[in-house]
Amino acid sequence: MRSWDNLQGGEKATRMDIAGVLPLDMAGTIIVLWLALGVLGLTLRGKPHLIANAIFPAGAVASLALAAIGLWALGAAADVAILPLGLPDLPLHLRLDPLSAFFLVLLGGASFGVSLFGAGYFRSMPGKTLGLLCLEYHLFLAGMALVLLADDAYMFMVAWETMALSSYFLVTTDHRIPDIRKAGYLYLLVAHVGAIAILLGFGVMQGGQGIGAYTFDAMRDAHLSAFWSSVVFLLALFGFGAKAGLLPLHVWLPEAHPAAPSPVSALMSGIMLKTAIYGILRFTFDLLDMQQWWWGVLALALGLLTAVFGVIFAAVQGDMKRLLAYSSIENIGLLLVGIGLTIIFHVYGKDALAALSLTAMLYHSLNHAFFKSLLFTGTGAILHATGERNMGRLGGLIRKMPWAASLMLIGVLAIAGLPPFNGFVSEWLLLQAFLLSPGLPNSYINMLIPVVAAVIALSAALAAYVMVKFYGIVFLGQPREPALEQAHDAGIWERAGMGWLALGCVVLGLAPVFVIRQLDPVTQMLIGHGLGNSAGGWLFLTPVDTERASYSPVYFLLAVLGVMLATALAVRRFYHGRLRRGPAWDCGFPEQTARMQDTAEGFGQPIRRIFEPFFRIEREAPSAFDTHPHYHGRSDDRIWLFLYLPIKRITETLSSWVSVLQHGRIHLYLSYTFATLIVLLAFM
Amino acid sequence: MENTNLALGMLFQLFQSLLVVLLAPLLMGWVSQCRAWLQNRSGPGLLQPYRMLRKLFLKDAVIAFNASPLFRVTPYILFGCMWLAAAIIPIIAVDLPFSPAADVIALVGVFALARVFIALAAMDIGTAFGSLGARREMLVSFLAEPALLMVLFTASLISHSTQLPSIVGALAHREFVLYPSLAFAALAFVIVLLAENARIPVDNPNTHLELTMIHEAMILEYSARHLALIEWAVSLKLFAYISLGIALFIPHGIADVGKWDALPLSIAALLAKLVMAGAGLALLETLLAKVRIFRAPEFLGTAFLLAVLGLLIHILLGA
C-alpha cells in the first residue's frame, strides 16, 4: 500500500505545515488506524481480554489524537485532498475546514471516553461477538469521521451509509431478542428514508451538470434559484432530521437507543445525532449560497415542537435508556432552534446575533456530546451491576456504586442546565441571543421571539424535572429489589471513561471563554462573523459587553464553595459536630418498605396528567378486592398512531395490489418482459 | 482610585451579604407576626426564628442509617446558593463588585441548583413523604421557573441588560411612568414568589398535615444543624425574592454607584419596603386559601402567561 501522502493529488489550498504533516493527513491516518484496529479485533476474536485491554484503549487513544487534530485544524485554513479511489470520473474528495474540525473535536473528545468505557464494558462478552462488535464499532467511528471530512456527494453518501449500516449492526448486537430486531429494522428503515432525501438534495444541487458537479465545490458555485434552494433545504431538513430524531421522524430513537449496548447508545446519541446537525449546517450555510427567512421559522417551529415533545415524553418513561433517548430528542430540538435563529438573524443581516446563536448552538452540541455520552455509559455501568434497565426495579445505588453515582451526578446537573456546569453555558448563550433579538424588520418574527424564549425556558425547567426523576429513582432511596444488594461499582476502565466525560462537562462549564474563542473560526466560516474576543478576559463570559451581560462560572463556583466551607467550619467552631444515626423518621410511621417510594411512573404522573392530550394512555387498575392486585399502564406516542400506522396500511395495500402481478411462475414473468418490450417498441 | 473603589466595593459587598444573612430570619419573624395579628393571635414575637435557629444548632443531629453524603452536604449547598443569590441582588446599593459573575439568568440558575439538590436529598432516604415532596416541588417549579425568567426578561429588555445593577440603575432613573409590561410582570412575579417560597396558596409553611405538604415533606428527615441551615436558607430565599421584587418594581432609593452618603437613606428605604412587603405577604396569605395540588399548575400557568404577555406587550408596544 502506498503512503497517504502519495495518495494525494491535485491542488492544495494554503495550509499550515508542521514538518510537512497536515491535519487532514493525520485525520486520514486516524481513520485508517480505526479500520485496522477493527479488522485486528475481528482476527483476535479468540482472545476477548486482548480486545478489551488493547484494541479498545488503542482506539480511544486514536480518538483523543483526532480531537487534538481537530483542535489544531480549527485554527488552520481549509485543507483539501483528492484520493485516487472512487468512481471513474469522480475521485474521492476530502476537506478539513473549521466546521469539520469542530465536529471532529466533538467526535474525538466524546468517543475517547466512550471507548475507554467500552474497554471495561465489553470485557464480559463472548469472544466471537466481541470480535465482530469491535469491527463494527471502529467502522462506525471511521464512518462518522469520513462523513465530516467528505467533500463530494459520493464520498458523503458512502460514509453516511457506512455509519448507518455499522450502527444498525451494533444496535442489533443482541439480535436473538425479537424486540431488538424490530428496533433495528425500524432504525434501518428511517435511516434509509432519510438517506434518499439527502441523495435527492445532492441531485438537485448537482442540477444535471455531469458527474464532476457532484463535488461540494461545484455545488457551492451552482447558485440555485430561490425555489430550488428551498427544495434542497427541505430535503436536507427531512433527510438529516430523520437521522437526528426530529419530529415526526423521531420514532426510531426511543426504540434503537435502549436496544443497543450502552457505549453504542452513547456514541449514537452523543455523536451520531450531531453528524445530522453537521449535515444541516453544511447544506444550509456552506453548500447553499443564500438562505430565506422562512427556513429559519420552519426550523424554529420544528425545533420547539421536538424539544417540548421530547422532554414531556422523557418525564413519563420508566426505562432509563428510553428516558435518555427522549431527552436526546429534546436536545436535538434545542439545537434546531439554534439553527433556526441563526438563519433568521443571518437573513436579516444581524450577523453579530447570528454568530451568538450559532455559537450557542455549537456549544450545546459539544455539551450534549459529553453529558449524554456520560449518562448513557452510566446506564451501562448500572446495567452491568444489576442487569436491570427498568427504573422501577432500581434504587439506592448511590450506596453500592459511589463512583458511578458521583460521576453521573455531574452529568445530571449538566444536562439539567444548572450552573456552573456546561449545560448552563449554552442555555445562557441561547437566551442571550433571544434577549438581543428585538428590532428585526419582520414584526411577526419579533412577536414570535418571546414565545420561543418562553418555550425554551419551559423545556429547560422540565429537563430538570426529568433529571431529578432519573437520578432520584435510580440512585437514591431504598433499593427496590433485594438483588440490588449485590450490585458492584463500575470497573476501573468504566470509571476512567465516565471520569473523562464528567471532566469534559466540568471544564466546558468552567472555561466558556476559551471554548468560544475556538468556535470563532467556525462562525467566521459559516456566516462571516465571529463573537471575537471577550471583553471581560478569560474569567468573564461577555458576549456583547460587560454592561449588558456577563457570567463567570469560576467565581460562581468559588463563591458557593467558599460559603459552604465557611459555614461548615463556623457551625463546628461555634456549636459542635455531633451526629447520630437512627431509623428514618417519616413522620413516625413505623413500617417503611421500598415499595412506598415513588416509582418512575409515580414520579412522572403529574406530567402525564398535565400534558394528557399529548399521550395515548392505556391503564389497567386493579379493583379494590383483588387479592393479587396488578397495575399496568403505558403512555404511547400519538404520532405513531396517526402518522405511521396509516402509512403502513397504505404501503400494505399498495403492495398487495402489486402482488396480484406476481405468481412465482417463470413463464408469466417472461411474458411480462415480452409485453414491456412490445410496448416500448411501439412507442419508440 | 480604581483600587480604592474596588476595595470599598468589596467591603460593601461583604456588608450587604452579612446584613442580609442576619436580617433574613427577622423578615420571616415579621411575616409570621403579621399573620398572627391578622388572625387575632398574639404571635410568637419577631425574634422567634432566631431562637429556633439557636435551638436547632445546639441539638445533636440525627440522620437515617442509609443517608448518603449527598444528604449531608445538601444543607450547605442550599445555604451557599442562597447566600450567592443575596450577594448579587442590589439590595441597598448597585455597587456590587461580585455581580458580573452572575446575571439574572444565572440567578434563576442558582435557585434551580438549590432546588434540584433539595429535591434529590429528599429522595435520598427513600421514604414515601420524601419522594412525594420532591415530585411536587419539581412540579411547582417547572412552571414557576420559566415564569420568573420571563419576568426578568421583560425587565432586561426595558433596560437592555441582564446585569442586575444595570437593570436597577436603568429602572430607577426613568421618569415615573407606569409600564404596562412591568405591571403584568409584577403580577406574575408575586405568584412566582408565593409558589417558590412555599407560601399559601401553593404550599403552607405551617402545615401539620403531611399529605398537603410540599416543602416540609422534603425536609422531614432533617434535624438539628442541617435543619437549621435549611431553615435559614429558606428565610434567605424569601428575603432574596422580596428584594428582587423591590429591585425590579420599586427600585427608588437604592444607592447609586459611589454614593456612599446615600447609604443610610437607602437602608431606611429598604427597611420600610421590607416591612410593607412582609405585611402584604401576610395579608395575601390570610386572604387566600390553599389550593389542591393539581390546581397549583393552573395558578402558576396564569403567572407564566401573564409574564409572556408582559414580554409581548413590551416588544409590540415598546412600553
CA distance B206 to A322: 40
Q: Which of B66, B98, B146 sits opposite A399 (nearest CB)?
A: B66
* Interchain proximity A468–B116, CB inside 8 Å: yes
Nearest residue of B to residue A476 by CA position?
B124
Best B76, B154, B311, B314 member to test A by mutation, with max A CBs in 10 Å, is B76
Of residues A251, A135, A269, the one with CA closest to residue A183: A251
CB B102 within 8 A of CB A551: yes
* Interchain proximity A447–B84, CB inside 8 Å: no
CA distance B108 to B85: 9
Q: Which DSSP symbol is given to B173? A: T
Residues of A in Cβ contact (< 8 Å) with B138: 464-465, 468-469
Nine-digit cell at B306?
401573564
Identify the pLDDT of residue A534. Answer: 53
Given the DSSP bridges, would you call strands A632-637 and A615-620 parallel, antiparallel or unpaired?
antiparallel
Encode pLDDT of A314-358 as tens digits.
999 889 999 999 999 999 999 999 999 999 999 988 888 888 899
Residues contacting residue A635 through CB under 8 Å, at least 6 positions apart: A313, A316, A608, A615, A616, A617, A618
Strand partners, A215: A152
Residue A176 sits at φ, ψ, to 5 deg, of -75, -15
Residues of A in Cβ contact (< 8 Å) with B308: 450-451, 454
Residue A633 sits at φ, ψ, to 5 deg, of -155, 140
Residues within 8 A of B (CB atoms), A 542-601 only: 546-552, 555-556, 559-564, 567-568, 571, 574-576, 578-587, 589, 592, 594, 596-598
- Count of CB atoms within 10 A of residue A517's CB? 18
Is the pLDDT score of A508 beyond 70? yes
Cα Dmax for chain A: 104
Of residues B111, B147, B116, B301, the one with CA closest to residue B218: B116
Question: Look-up: residue for cell 434504587?
Answer: A395
Distance from CA of B279 to the nearest CA of A (A): 31
A444 touches chain B (CB under 8 A): no
CA distance B160 to A81: 48
CB A231 within 8 A of CB A262: no
CB A508 within 8 A of CB B178: no
Please give the span between the terminal C-alpha atoms of chain A, in angstroms, as a whole number.
50
CA distance B36 to A12: 82
Which amino acid is residue B203, in one-letter code?
A: D
CB B131 within 8 A of CB B294: no
Radius of gyration of chain A (CA): 26
Residues contacting residue B161 through CB under 8 Å, at least 6 positions apart: A547, A548, A549, B167, B170
Nine-digit cell at A551?
457570567
Residues of B in Cβ contact (< 8 Å) with A584: 64-66, 125-127, 221
ipTM of this predicted complex? 0.93
CB A501 within 8 A of CB A377: yes
pLDDT band at A16 (very low <50, low <70, confident <90, very high): very low
* Interchain proximity A582–B63, CB inside 8 Å: yes
A72-99 average pLDDT score? 86
Encode pLDDT of A438-496 as tens digits.
677 777 888 888 888 889 999 999 999 999 999 999 999 888 888 888 888 888 999 99
CA distance A157 to A86: 12
Q: Which of B62, B98, B225 sits opposite A580 (nearest CB)?
A: B62
* Interchain proximity A574–B57, CB inside 8 Å: yes
Q: Which of A434, A564, A581 sits opposite B76 (nearest CB)?
A: A564
Helices and strands, counts by H and E, chain A: 27, 5
Tell me which of A633 and A148 has the higher pLDDT.
A148
**Residue A507: exposure state from Cβ atoms within 10 A (0-12, 13-18, ≥19):** middle
Domain residue ranges of chain B, discontinuous segments joined by +: 2-317
3-state SS class at B288:
coil
Is the pLDDT score of A6 beyond 70? no
Residues within 8 A of B (CB atoms), A 523-542 only: 536, 540
CA distance A269 to A171: 12
DSSP A638-682: HHIIIIIHHHHHHHHHHHHHHGGG--S-HHHHHHHHHHHHHHHHH
pLDDT band at A537 (very low <50, low <70, confident <90, very high): low
Nearest residue of B to residue A311 by CA position?
B142
Identify the pLDDT of residue A640. Answer: 81
CB A342 within 8 A of CB A296: yes
A89-95 average pLDDT score? 86
Tell how far CA A415 is from the center of its chain: 13
Question: Look-up: residue for cell 405577604?
Answer: B281
CA distance A313 to A315: 5
Distance from CA of A599 to the nearest CA of B (A): 9
* Interchain proximity B150–A602, CB inside 8 Å: no
List C-alpha distances in Å: B303 to A454, A508, B309: 12, 34, 10
Is the pLDDT score of A133 beyond 50? yes
* Interchain proximity B116–A579, CB inside 8 Å: no
* Interchain proximity B80–A399, CB inside 8 Å: no
Nearest residue of A to residue B75 by CA position?
A564
* Interchain proximity B162–A467, CB inside 8 Å: no
Q: Residue B127: left if φ>0, alpha if ψ -120 to 50, beta else—which one?
A: beta
Tell how far CA B21 is from the center of its chain: 12
pLDDT band at A10 (very low <50, low <70, confident <90, very high): very low
Residues of A in Cβ contact (< 8 Å) with B134: 468, 472, 598, 603
A47-53 average pLDDT score? 86
pTM for the whole structure:
0.92
Q: Residue A260: left if φ>0, alpha if ψ -120 to 50, beta else—which one?
A: beta
Query: What angle (nearest 5°) sits at the alpha carbon of residue A565, between those of residues A563 and A567?
Result: 65
3-state SS class at A245:
coil
CA distance A218 to A206: 8
> How many CA atoms does the CB half-sphere of A39 hold within 13 Å?
5
Of residues A149, A138, A144, the one with CA closest to residue A23: A149
* Interchain proximity B304–A454, CB inside 8 Å: yes
Distance from CA of A607 to the nearest CA of B (A): 8
Residue A89 sits at φ, ψ, to 5 deg, of -100, 5
Nearest residue of B to residue A541 by CA position?
B101
Nine-digit cell at B248?
425590579
Best A400, A468, A469, A565 member to test B by mutation, with max B CBs in 10 Å, is A468
Identify the pLDDT of residue B1. Answer: 45
Distance from CA of A605 to the nearest CA of B (A): 9
- Count of CB atoms within 10 A of residue A471's CB? 26
Q: Which of A476, A550, A589 sits opposite B163 (nearest CB)?
A: A550
3-state SS class at B295:
helix
- Indicate the range of A158-162, A163-167, B62-66 predicted with least confidence: B62-66
Residues of A in Cβ contact (< 8 Å) with B60: 576, 578-580
Nine-digit cell at A658?
402489486
Residues contacting residue B115 through CB under 8 Å, at least 6 positions apart: A464, B137, B138, B141
Nine-digit cell at A671?
411474458
* Interchain proximity B65–A585, CB inside 8 Å: no
Which amino acid is residue B208, in one-letter code?
A: H
Given the DSSP bridges, would you call strands A632-637 and A90-96 parallel, antiparallel or unpaired?
unpaired
* Interchain proximity B124–A552, CB inside 8 Å: no
Encode pLDDT of A397-413 as tens digits.
999 999 999 999 999 99
pLDDT band at A191 (very low <50, low <70, confident <90, very high): very high
CB A277 within 8 A of CB A240: yes
Question: Look-up: residue for cell 473603589?
Answer: B5
Residues within 8 A of B (CB atoms), A 457-516 only: 457-458, 460-462, 464-465, 467-469, 471-473, 476-478
Of residues B221, B183, B201, B213, the one with CA closest to residue B290: B201
Provide the b/e sequence for A565-578 (b: ≥16 CB within 10 Å). Answer: eebbeebeeebeee
CA distance A476 to A429: 32
Of residues A303, A440, A287, the one with CA closest to residue A360: A303
Residues of A in Cβ contact (< 8 Å) with B130: 477, 586, 597
Of residues A318, A464, A484, A488, the one with CA closest to residue A396: A484
Q: Which of B61, B131, B161 sits opposite A549 (nearest CB)?
A: B161
Tell me which of A439 and A364 has the higher pLDDT.
A364
Please give the span between the terminal C-alpha atoms of chain B, in angstroms, as a whole number.
39
Q: Which DSSP symbol is given to A581? A: E
Distance from CA of A453 to the nearest CA of B (A): 8
Provide the b/e sequence for A608-633 (b: ≥16 CB within 10 Å). Answer: bebbeebbeeeeeeeeeeeeeeeeee
Given the DSSP bridges, would you call strands A579-582 and B61-64 parallel, antiparallel or unpaired?
parallel
Domain residue ranges of chain A, discontinuous segments joined by +: 611-622+629-682
CB B143 within 8 A of CB B300: yes
CB A207 within 8 A of CB A213: yes
**Residue B199: exposure state from Cβ atoms within 10 A (0-12, 13-18, ≥19):** buried
Distance from CA of B301 to the nearest CA of A (A): 11
CA distance B12 to A158: 64
Q: Which of B64, B79, B308 sits opposite A451 (nearest CB)?
A: B308
Identify the pLDDT of residue B100. Answer: 79
Q: A-B interface: how many C-beta pairs under 8 angstroms?
A: 269
Distance from CA of A111 to the nearest CA of B (A): 29
* Interchain proximity A579–B124, CB inside 8 Å: no
> How many CA atoms does the CB half-sphere of A604 hold within 13 Å?
28
* Interchain proximity B101–A581, CB inside 8 Å: no
Render each residue's pLDDT in chain B as its tens digit; 319 residues: 456 677 777 888 888 888 899 989 999 999 999 999 998 998 888 999 999 999 999 988 999 888 999 999 999 999 999 998 988 888 887 777 777 788 899 999 999 999 999 999 999 988 888 888 999 999 999 889 999 999 999 888 888 888 888 888 888 777 666 788 888 999 999 999 999 998 888 888 777 777 778 888 888 889 889 999 999 999 999 999 999 999 888 887 777 766 677 788 888 888 999 999 999 999 999 898 888 888 888 899 999 999 999 888 888 877 6
